[in-house]
């Protein structure tokens, strides 16, 4: 994560706090992350030095026309400062700062099949017990782990996947 992205995210969060709009901006940032991650064309437009700033700004304003004023102003500032290529990173960093502000964190749970509602609740309870903070779950589906789960919260990782157990067993047998 670049220092510039962190600075922009802090500035947006500060403004959002002043205007009591942190939740709205957080939803905008989640939308930006999802859209930028899923669109190779958008990433290409944002990163291309050949595409004029006016075109980039018009594209962002059209794609994200449902976002709030602060998010729209962020587009303007990033375009003016020729930093629009940082948009995805700024959005990700905003989410991190927003979560820190609200004493929540992101728990990434990798499973072979989608998590059920009951299992999600159990994971959230376990994360709260381990860290003392609330969490939101991002479920990543990876069939290669065969079964079980991999839980990542901040810099903690707990790997209870079948693939991990098989790998460990294979290592023990080869020794």
Residues 96-109 have pLDDT tens digits of 899 889 888 888 99
pLDDT bucket at 133, cuts 50 / 70 / 90? confident
**Chain-centre distance for alpha carbon 108:** 10
What percent of the chain stands above pLDDT 70? 99
Distances from the Cα of 101 to the Cα of 23, 60, 80, 115, 134, angstroms:
11, 27, 28, 27, 12
- Contact by Cβ (8 Å): 75, 35: no
Q: What is the pLDDT of residue 23?
A: 94
Question: Residue 41: how many CA atoms within 13 Å on its side-chain side?
Answer: 3
Distances from the Cα of 95 to the Cα of 33, 92, 172, 173, angstroms:
10, 5, 41, 44
pLDDT, tens digit, 9 for 90 and up, residues 27-86:
999 999 999 999 999 999 999 999 999 999 999 999 999 999 999 999 999 999 999 999
Task: Return the CA Rg of the chain.
Answer: 20
What's the chain's average pLDDT?
92
Q: Is the pTM of this model over 0.85?
A: no
pLDDT at 11 over 70: yes
pLDDT bucket at 123, cuts 50 / 70 / 90? confident
- For 85-91, what is the mean pLDDT? 96
Helix locations, the chain, DSSP H: 3-18, 22-38, 40-47, 53-63, 69-80, 87-101, 117-131, 162-174
pLDDT at 163 over 80: yes
pLDDT at 131 over 90: no
């Amino acid at each position: 994560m670049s220092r510039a992205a962190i600075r922009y995210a802090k500035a947006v969060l500060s403004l959002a706090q002043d205007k009591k709009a942190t939740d709205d901006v957080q939803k905008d940032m989640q939308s930006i992350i999802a859209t930028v991650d899923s669109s190779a064309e958008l990433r290409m437009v944002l990163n291309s030095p050949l595409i004029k700033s006016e075109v980039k700004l018009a594209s962002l304003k059209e794609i994200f026309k449902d976002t709030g004023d602060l998010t729209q102003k962020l587009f303007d500032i990033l375009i003016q400062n020729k930093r629009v290529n940082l948009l995805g990173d700024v959005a990700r960093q905003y989410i991190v700062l927003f979560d820190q502000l609200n004493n929540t964190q992101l728990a990434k749970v990798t499973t072979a099949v989608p998590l059920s509602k009951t299992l999600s609740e159990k994971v959230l309870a376990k994360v709260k017990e381990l860290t003392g903070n609330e969490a939101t779950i991002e479920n990543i589906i990876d069939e290669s782990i065969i079964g079980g789960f991999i839980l990542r919260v901040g810099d903690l990782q707990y790997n209870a996947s079948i693939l991990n157990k098989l790998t460990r067993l294979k290592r023990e047998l080869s020794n």
